[in-house]
């Protein structure tokens, strides 16, 4: 900035305050500090979510097979800090050690070890192999070295498709049961009960209990044929141990990672608030200025329209059009904005009615100023700050209305919205199962974003309303 | 005369809104959405034609003729042969005369013949009970709290009320309902509390059948009324928690403004008791202004919030029926959704009109013009 511009900048005043005075006024109150801190948090998290989530996250979210290895309806992992019954978390490892080919047969061996201090161990183990040709057959053999010195052999299991699900194999079940049977313990499992937890348990008098300690798992995959060159990739073999708790925020009924779902909602809600507020304000300012400045029949017509728009029941209309035209989130936001400028336009109109009677406007007219000049130099600077304030106050309403619409499973976007997460929670009965990790955070975040906008509005009230400033 | 004139003026305005809403919906239905109806007509006609063919496999041309006749007749009956703008008025007339047609999926509502007008009539009492009680109680409590807080301006309790009002403005009402269900219905059951609330619904199943056909019969039965009140507690509490803040905030602002007026100082100087000053010189002149602020916020905050709250509590009202119509069948039940929008607009306009009358009764400036 050059010195000249700086001088002009310091001479710039809105409502008799320089920009630095305005910011000082805004930050002088505790509310202003809290509001701006929270707003920064909101923006930072939105930016973070933009970079942290893959660009095709919407497609990923709506693809159930992407989430099939995750536990369903699992609480977040950190509940282990608050409970005595420790639950095993989701574990994913890439244990590839070596790939050797001998006489047309490829041997892939891998080893990994896990610690098991959990009262409720893992429920299932998936073995995912990428790069095995569709037509070649493969077999998998596992050996589990347990902390009590024993070792449990599993397999060989026939491998087909892209992954193997140990819990669903009756061979695995029989092998585990016979392992304990050899030790003189007999266990009965319900038909749908997974045998996998027994891998990490010892049995006494037919009752399994957790065997604490370090487990080493050796996996040998034999492929009758050659494998793709990508086999040097450590992602070639992935072992997923399905936990009972998952990540930061748990999972929903399809195993979606709720943390990612919640993260995706941040930029959406911020955009809903800002976009709808901006559209609303642009319409309100244009209508307010037109009817306040031109008066006459224009004013008469616009005031009638404003009256109708103010009383128009936006929500039922939003529902019916979302249903009839399968509206997207953005259609709904646009429509909502078109129906919600009434109140702001009325206020701006009355402000302009007051301003245009002022003597300096009369003076400017006498000197020969044109209407557009007066508008730009006398009227807009006076109504702008208040318009910005109105802009901020109209954001929470839009956020709440659109969330309610999402809660009815309308006006969807490719990305999950907080309202839509709650729709699924409600329609799959998560409410009545008390799945708080799925039900509480989305609503809390909707409220958080709305309250941040409200706090910003409260903090900027003394700036735009001089009566409050000196009162 | 002035009273009647201003009331009439407002009534005309509200009727205008109803007609605008009606026109927008009808126009949408007559244009893009009419293809749904056309398809339905064709499916119906095809079923009849196939029945003819089944009867006499050689009568292909006859079946075609039957098909054409039925399509033509049905299209005429539905007005599909008319240009969209004429059809718009047909639909408007049907709406106005409560000729709302039949639901696509009548089994989802449990109302006997699947007539949309019956479905909505069965849902109306629930919405009226929750909305009226919710608005009235939250207004009474909110204005009381707001006035008290304005009279203790700057105190700790005043600031507490202010922050509560600000935060409650940003709370999704229906989500508070969800939290209440989790805490007072689910968790209380889990800890084997002797008292726990129902998960939702408007009445126990044994009374609900009666409620659907004849709500008045339910009110004749004392235990059924108690059951209704028992189910009402959580939804009402939800509505109150969220809405009291708004009323309190407006009441506080208006009362603060009035309390600085000269006539209040004079009243105090005359030696009137504080109670008299507050009731006669502050609250009375403040009342119309409080109502005006509320009238502006009703469309958004109150109305939408109430409808979705019904969904959460499965409270048999317009909002819950909305939810069933949209989500229960996989494809939306268009006739019900459209009629619901019209009915809720109607209800909303009645509520606004009642508030307008209240406003005119409270404001002598309007009344005695």
Residue A242: left if φ>0, alpha if ψ -120 to 50, beta else—which one? beta
Shortest alpha-carbon distance between residue A427 and chain B (Å): 9
For residue B352, list chain A residues with Cβ-Cβ distance below 8 A: 311
Going by pLDDT thresholds of 50, 70 and 90, the confidence category of residue B139 is: confident
Nearest to A280 by CA among A327, A335, A321: A335
Please state which of the ranges A283-287, A333-337, B177-181, B260-264 shows the lowest mean pLDDT. Answer: B260-264
Structure tokens at B218: 């339910």
- With an 8 Å Cβ cutoff, are A308 and B300 in contact? no
pTM of the predicted structure, to 2 decimals? 0.86
Partner residue opposite A450 with nearest CB, options B20, B33, B170: B170
Mean pLDDT, range B334-361, rounded to an integer: 83
Shortest alpha-carbon distance between residue A417 and chain B (Å): 14
- With an 8 Å Cβ cutoff, are B296 and A343 in contact? yes
Going by pLDDT thresholds of 50, 70 and 90, the confidence category of residue A10 is: very low
Mark out the alpha helices in A114-155 (DSSP H runs).
Answer: none
* Residue A350 pLDDT greater than 70, yes or no: yes
- With an 8 Å Cβ cutoff, are B299 and A310 in contact? yes
ipTM (interface predicted TM): 0.84
Query: What Å distances lie between residue A274 and A55, A389, B164, CA to CA?
Result: 22, 13, 24
Q: How far apart are CA B143 and CA B149, in angstroms?
A: 10
Residue B154: left if φ>0, alpha if ψ -120 to 50, beta else—which one? left
Q: How far apart are CA A243 and CA A196, in angstroms?
A: 11
Mutate to test the interface with A, among B19, B88, B159, B175 (most CBs of A within 10 A): B175
According to DSSP, the β-strands at A138-145 and A213-224 are antiparallel
Q: Are A76 and A245 in contact (CB under 8 A)?
A: yes
Mean pLDDT, range A96-108, rounded to an integer: 82
Shortest alpha-carbon distance between residue B282 and chain A (Å): 20
DSSP letter for A96, please: E
Q: Which residues contact A130 (CB under 8 A, 6 or more apart)?
A: A162, A230, A233, A235, A236, A237, A238
For residue B327, list chain A residues with Cβ-Cβ distance below 8 A: 408-409, 423, 427
Q: Are B321 and B336 in contact (CB under 8 A)?
A: yes
Structure tokens at A429: 């009965």
* Residue A229 pLDDT greater than 70, yes or no: no
DSSP letter for B38, please: H
Structure tokens at B95: 């709406």
Nearest to B232 by CA among B204, B253, B270: B204
Query: What Å distances lie between residue B259 and A161, B249, B289, CA to CA?
Result: 78, 15, 13
Residue A187: left if φ>0, alpha if ψ -120 to 50, beta else—which one? beta
> Residues 320-349, chain A: which have Cβ within 8 Å of B?
320-321, 323-325, 340, 343
Structure tokens at A175: 């092998």
Q: How many CB atoms lie within 10 A of CB B167?
A: 16
Partner residue opposite A313 with nearest CB, options B186, B199, B299: B299
**B188 and chain A: CB distance < 8 Å anywhere?**
no
Nearest to A427 by CA among A406, A445, A448: A406
Shortest alpha-carbon distance between residue B76 and chain A (Å): 23
Predicted confidence (pLDDT) per residue in A153-207, tens digit: 887 888 877 888 888 888 888 888 888 888 888 888 888 888 888 888 888 887 8
Predicted confidence (pLDDT) per residue in A388-407, tens digit: 888 888 899 899 999 999 99
Mutate to test the interface with A, among B6, B234, B308 (most CBs of A within 10 A): B308
End-to-end CA distance of chain B: 8
Shortest alpha-carbon distance between residue A171 and chain B (Å): 39
Whether residue B251 is preceded by a cis peptide bond, meaning omega within 30 degrees of 0, is no
Predicted confidence (pLDDT) per residue in B87-137, tens digit: 888 888 888 888 888 888 888 888 777 888 888 988 989 988 998 888 889
Going by pLDDT thresholds of 50, 70 and 90, the confidence category of residue A102 is: confident
- With an 8 Å Cβ cutoff, are A447 and B172 in contact? yes
**B299 and chain A: CB distance < 8 Å anywhere?**
yes
- With an 8 Å Cβ cutoff, are A446 and B175 in contact? yes
Shortest alpha-carbon distance between residue A414 and chain B (Å): 18
Mutate to test the interface with B, among A262, A316, A321, A419 (most CBs of B within 10 A): A316
């Amino acid at each position: 900035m050059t010195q000249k511009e700086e001088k002009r900048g310091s001479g710039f005043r809105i409502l008799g305050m320089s920009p630095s005075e305005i910011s000082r006024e805004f930050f002088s109150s505790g509310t202003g500090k809290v509001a701006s801190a929270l707003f920064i948090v909101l923006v930072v998290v939105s930016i973070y979510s933009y970079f942290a989530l893959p660009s095709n996250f919407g497609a990923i979210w709506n693809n159930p097979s992407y989430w099939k290895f995750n536990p369903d309806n699992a609480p977040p992992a950190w509940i282990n800090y608050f409970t005595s019954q420790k639950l095993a978390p989701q574990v994913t490892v890439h244990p590839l050690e070596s790939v050797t080919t001998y006489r047309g047969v490829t041997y892939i061996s891998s080893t990994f070890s896990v610690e098991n201090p959990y009262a409720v161990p893992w429920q299932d183990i998936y073995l995912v192999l990428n790069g095995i040709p569709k037509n070649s057959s493969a077999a998998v053999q596992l050996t589990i070295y347990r902390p009590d010195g024993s070792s449990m052999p599993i397999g060989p299991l026939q491998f087909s498709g892209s992954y193997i699900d140990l819990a669903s194999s009756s061979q695995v079940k029989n092998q585990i049961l016979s392992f304990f049977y050899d030790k003189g313990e007999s266990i009965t499992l319900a038909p749908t009960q997974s045998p996998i937890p027994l891998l990490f348990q010892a049995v006494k008098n037919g009752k399994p209990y957790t065997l604490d300690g370090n487990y080493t798992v050796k996996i040998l995959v034999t492929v009758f044929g050659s494998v793709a060159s990508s086999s040097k990739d450590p992602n070639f073999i992935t072992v997923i141990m399905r936990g009972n708790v998952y990540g930061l925020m748990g999972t929903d009924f399809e195993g979606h990672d709720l943390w990612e779902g919640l993260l995706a909602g941040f930029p959406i809600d911020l955009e809903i608030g800002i976009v709808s507020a901006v559209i609303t304000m642009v319409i309100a300012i244009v209508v307010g200025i037109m009817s306040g400045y031109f008066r006459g029949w224009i004013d008469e017509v616009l005031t009638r329209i404003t009256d109708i728009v103010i009383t128009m029941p936006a929500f039922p209309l939003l529902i019916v059009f979302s249903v009839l035209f399968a509206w997207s989130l953005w259609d709904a936001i646009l429509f909502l904005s078109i129906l919600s400028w009434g109140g702001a336009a009325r206020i701006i109109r009355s402000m302009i009615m007051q301003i245009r009677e002022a003597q300096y406007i009369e003076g400017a007219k006498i000197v020969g100023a044109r209407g557009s000049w007066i508008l730009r130099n006398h009227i807009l600077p006076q109504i702008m700050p208040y318009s910005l304030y109105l802009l901020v106050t109209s954001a929470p309403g839009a956020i709440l209305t659109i969330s309610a619409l999402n809660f009815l499973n309308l006006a969807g976007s490719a990305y999950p919205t907080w309202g839509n997460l709650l729709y699924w929670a409600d329609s799959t009965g998560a409410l009545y199962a008390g799945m708080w990790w799925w039900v509480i955070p989305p609503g809390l975040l909707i409220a958080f974003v709305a309250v941040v906008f409200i706090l910003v509005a409260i903090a900027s009230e003394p700036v735009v309303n001089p009566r409050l400033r000196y009162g | 005369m002035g009273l009647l004139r201003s009331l009439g003026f407002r009534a005309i305005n509200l009727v205008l809104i109803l007609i605008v809403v009606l026109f927008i919906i009808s126009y949408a239905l007559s244009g893009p959405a009419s293809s749904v109806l056309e398809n339905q007509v064709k499916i119906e006609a095809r079923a009849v034609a196939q029945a003819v063919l089944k009867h006499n496999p050689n009568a292909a041309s006859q079946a075609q003729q039957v098909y054409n006749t039925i399509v033509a007749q049905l299209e005429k009956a539905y007005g599909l042969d008319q240009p969209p703008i004429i059809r718009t008025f047909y639909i408007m007339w049907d709406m106005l005369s409560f000729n709302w047609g039949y639901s696509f999926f009548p089994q989802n509502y449990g109302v006997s013949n699947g007539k949309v007008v019956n479905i909505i009539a069965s849902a109306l009492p629930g919405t009226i009970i929750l909305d009226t009680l919710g608005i009235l109680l939250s207004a009474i409590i909110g204005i009381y709290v707001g006035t008290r807080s304005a009279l203790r301006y700057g105190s700790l309790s005043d600031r507490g009320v202010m922050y509560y009002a600000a935060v409650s403005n940003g709370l999704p009402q229906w989500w508070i309902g969800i939290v209440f269900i989790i805490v007072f219905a689910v968790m209380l059951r889990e800890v084997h509390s002797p008292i726990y609330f129902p998960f939702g619904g408007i009445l126990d199943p044994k009374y609900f059948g009666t409620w659907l056909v004849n709500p008045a019969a339910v009110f004749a039965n004392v235990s059924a009324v108690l059951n209704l009140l028992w189910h009402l507690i959580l939804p009402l509490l939800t509505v109150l928690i969220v809405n009291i803040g708004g009323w309190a905030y407006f009441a506080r602002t208006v009362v603060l403004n009035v309390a600085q007026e000269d006539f209040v100082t004079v009243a105090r100087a005359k030696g009137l008791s504080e109670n008299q000053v507050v009731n006669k010189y502050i609250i009375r002149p403040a009342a119309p202004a409080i109502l005006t602020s509320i009238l502006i916020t009703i469309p958004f905050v109150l109305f939408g919030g109430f409808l979705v709250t019904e969904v959460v509590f499965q409270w048999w009202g317009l909002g819950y029926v909305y939810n069933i119509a949209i989500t229960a069948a996989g494809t939306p039940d268009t006739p019900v959704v459209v009629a619901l929008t019209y009915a809720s607009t109607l209800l909303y306009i009645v509520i606004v009109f009642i508030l307008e009358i209240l406003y005119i009764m409270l404001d002598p400036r309007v009344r005695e013009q």
